[in-house]
Chains A and B, each alone.
Chain A
Amino acid sequence: SQQGEEDPQALSIQEGENATMNCSYKTSINNLQWYRQNSGRGLVHLILIRSNEREKHSGRLRVTLDTSKKSSSLLITASRAADTASYFCATKNTNAGKSTFGDGTTLTVKP
């Protein structure tokens, strides 16, 4: 079974609005990563947050991590049509060599 679960499964917003996606996980983690995937393509790494970090920014992206609630959120500010994609969280468990992915949030940004 997948470690992370994203919420919502699908999100549709207007250009210029903010988009927030959430990820919950079950076991202790070393880090949590967010990826974007355009249809039919590979995944692109967006941002990694370590277990001892609470918030991280990269351009229009803001990621938070709450290890007590075992959850993370990805905020995309001032969304653009080009942000339309699926977004996945992946967790790297403390004792595992690989990262485990959730089933993603599909974001549609309408122009």
Chain B
Amino acid sequence: DTGVSQNPRHKITKRGQNVTFRCDPISEHNRLYWYRQTLGQGPEFLTYFQNEAQLEKSRLLSDRFSAERPKGSFSTLEIQRTEQGDSAMYLCASSHTNENYGYTFGSGTRLTVV
């Protein structure tokens, strides 16, 4: 297992287009998290899954954002009708249910909306 994998690493898109990111977590981890990070800030929570169930979604997340984890393995994050304010690093992390362990993060997908 090579850790948490995110694709693509970089995405440049025009305003108004839809984008989809993929995250492959560590196979033994049943929790998967999406965070967003802008320059100089800490990661901001977006949503998380336990297996295939989406257990929490940030109130900051507009209806343009949707995430899925259909079989409890990989996850996708889709942003519809992108806006310039969506430009950020999108980070995926996975963890055990056991809360004595921290998160393993992927390298992130950097989104630039032009």
Contact = CB atoms under 8 A, between A and B. Distances in A.
Contacts of B48: 97-98
B100 A102 contact: no
Interface residue tally on B, bucketed by range? 20 to 34
Interface in B88-111: 91, 93, 99-108, 110
Contact of A48 (B41, B102, B108): B102
A45 interface: yes
Interface residues of A, number: 27
B102 A97 contact: no
A42 B106 contact: yes
Contacts of B93: 42-43
A25 interface: no
B100 A98 contact: no
Interface string A58-100: 0000000000000000000000000000001010100011111
A97 B104 contact: no
B99 A2 contact: no
A98 B56 contact: yes
11 contacts: A2-B42, A33-B102, A42-B91, A43-B43, A45-B103, A45-B105, A90-B103, A96-B56, A97-B50, A97-B55, A101-B42
